[in-house]
Amino acid sequence: MPFLLLDCDGVLADTERDGHRVAFNRAFREMGLPLEWDDPTYARLLGIGGGKERLSSVLSPDVMAARGLEDTPGERARLVAEVHALKSELFRGIVADGLVPARPGIRRLVIEATASGWTVAVASTSAPESVRAVMETVLGAGLASGIEVFAGDVVARKKPDPAIYKHAVQQLGASPGDCVVVEDSSQGLAAARGASLPVVVTESAYTHGEDFAGASLVLSDLGEPDAPAVVLADPCDLMVGCPAVDVAVLEDVISRRRG
C-alpha cells in the first residue's frame, strides 16, 4: 500500500503569512506584549521549527516584564503556553473565515490518492487542532475525517529533525520505500530526507528561492489540469507531458526511488 504524507502549512494552504503571522500579532496585542512580526521578521523566524519555539526565541526580559512576570524558565514556559493557546484559537477563527484558501491541486490530489488506495496522512509541527481546522476547510470535513494527523508535540524535536516523519511512518506501519512526502520548505525537505523519504516540493510564499537540492520535484504548486504547475526542478523528467501532479506522478516518484 502506498502512502502520501503531507505537510500542513504551505502545502494544504499558504497559512503562514495570512494565518499564523496574523494570529500571533493579534495575540500579542490582546495580551499587551510589545511584539509585532512583519513579513521579513516572520520569514526569518520560520527558520525555527515550531510556533512555540519561535515565540520562545523572542521572549526578552522586556517582554516578560510587560506581563509582570519574572524572566525565569518556568514563567517563560507558562507565557509561551498562554500566548500559543490564544494564537491557535485566533488562527482557527481566521481559517474558519476563509482567509487562507487551499493551494492549487491539493484537494484534487488527495481525492485521487484515496480513490486509488493510497493512505494519506499529515505530518506537521503545528498544533493538531490548527491542522484539523485547515484540513476541514481545505478538504472538507468528510475527506479530512479519513486522514490521520501527526502534529504538534507528538515528537520532541521539530523539523528539520526527521522525528515527525519517522514517527508517522512507524505509526502507519509503512515502509519508507512506499511513501511520498509533499513539503514546501527546505526544513521540511531536510526532515523528510532524514527519514529516507522522497519529496515533492511546492514552494510557498515564504520559501521561494530556498535550496531544494535532493527533492524529486520542485514546483510552484501541485497544479490543475486547466492551470498547470510551473516546474522549477525535475531531475528525473517526472512531469513531462503532465500539467499537474497526479497519482501516476507519485507512483513514478516511488518507482524511480526504488530503481
Residues 57 and 122 both lie in one domain: no
Residues 187 and 108 both lie in one domain: yes
How many distinct structural domains can be found in the chain? 2
* Amino acid identity for residue 137 in this structure: T
Q: What is the pLDDT of residue 182?
A: 99
- Whether residue 160 is preceded by a cis peptide bond, meaning omega within 30 degrees of 0, is yes
Residues 124 and 208 both lie in one domain: yes
Residues 91 and 155 both lie in one domain: no
Q: What is the pLDDT of residue 254?
A: 96
Give the number of C-alpha atoms closer than 13 A to the C-alpha of residue 12, restricted to the C-beta side.
31
Write out the E strands in the chain. Answer: 3-6, 119-124, 148-151, 179-183, 199-202, 217-219, 231-233
Residues 162 and 239 both lie in one domain: yes
Q: What is the pLDDT of residue 259?
A: 55
Is position 246 annotated as part of the catalytic site? no
**Which band of pLDDT confidence, cut at 50, 70 and 90, is reported for residue 257?**
confident
Does residue 121 or residue 257 have the better pLDDT?
121
Residues 87 and 121 both lie in one domain: no
Q: In the 8-state DSSP scheme, what is residue 31? A: T
- Domain boundary among the residues 96, 115, 130 is at 96
Q: What pLDDT digit, counting tens, does each position of 193-244 carry?
A: 999 999 999 999 999 999 999 999 999 999 999 999 999 999 999 999 999 9
- Domain boundary among the residues 68, 96, 124 is at 96
Q: Which of 7, 14, 184, 252 is catalytic?
A: 7
Residues 151 and 52 both lie in one domain: no
Residues 6+ apart with CB under 8 A from 223: 104, 105, 229, 243, 244, 245
Residues 6+ apart with CB under 8 A from 219: 200, 201, 202, 203, 229, 230, 231, 232, 239, 245
Give the number of C-alpha atoms closer than 13 A to the C-alpha of residue 146, restricted to the C-beta side.
14
Is position 237 annotated as part of the catalytic site? no
Question: What span, in angstroms and rounded, lies between the C-alpha atoms of 8 and 19?
Answer: 12
Cα Rg of the chain (Å, integer): 18
Long-range pairs for 37-44: beta carbons < 8 A, 24 or more residues apart: 42/16, 42/17, 42/206, 43/206
**pLDDT > 60? residue 9:** yes
**Which band of pLDDT confidence, cut at 50, 70 and 90, is reported for residue 152?**
confident
Instruction: Give Cα 222 distance to the centre of its chain.
Output: 15
- Report pTM: 0.93
Q: Which residues pair with 59 in a beta bridge?
A: none
Q: What is the CATH number of the domain that holds 8?
A: 3.40.50.1000
Average pLDDT, the chain: 96
- Domain boundary among the residues 53, 71, 96 is at 96
Residues 80 and 137 both lie in one domain: no
Residues 6+ apart with CB under 8 A from 74: none
Q: What is the pLDDT of residue 170?
A: 98
Residues 116 and 239 both lie in one domain: yes
The parent domain of residue 186 ranges over: 3-14+101-258
Q: DSSP secondary structure string, 111-136?
A: HHHHHTT-EEEEEESS-HHHHHHHHH
**pLDDT > 60? residue 47:** yes
Question: What span, in angstroms and rounded, lies between the C-alpha atoms of 78 and 199?
Answer: 36
Residues 65 and 110 both lie in one domain: no
Positive or negative, the CA dihedral 136, 139, 145, 147 is negative
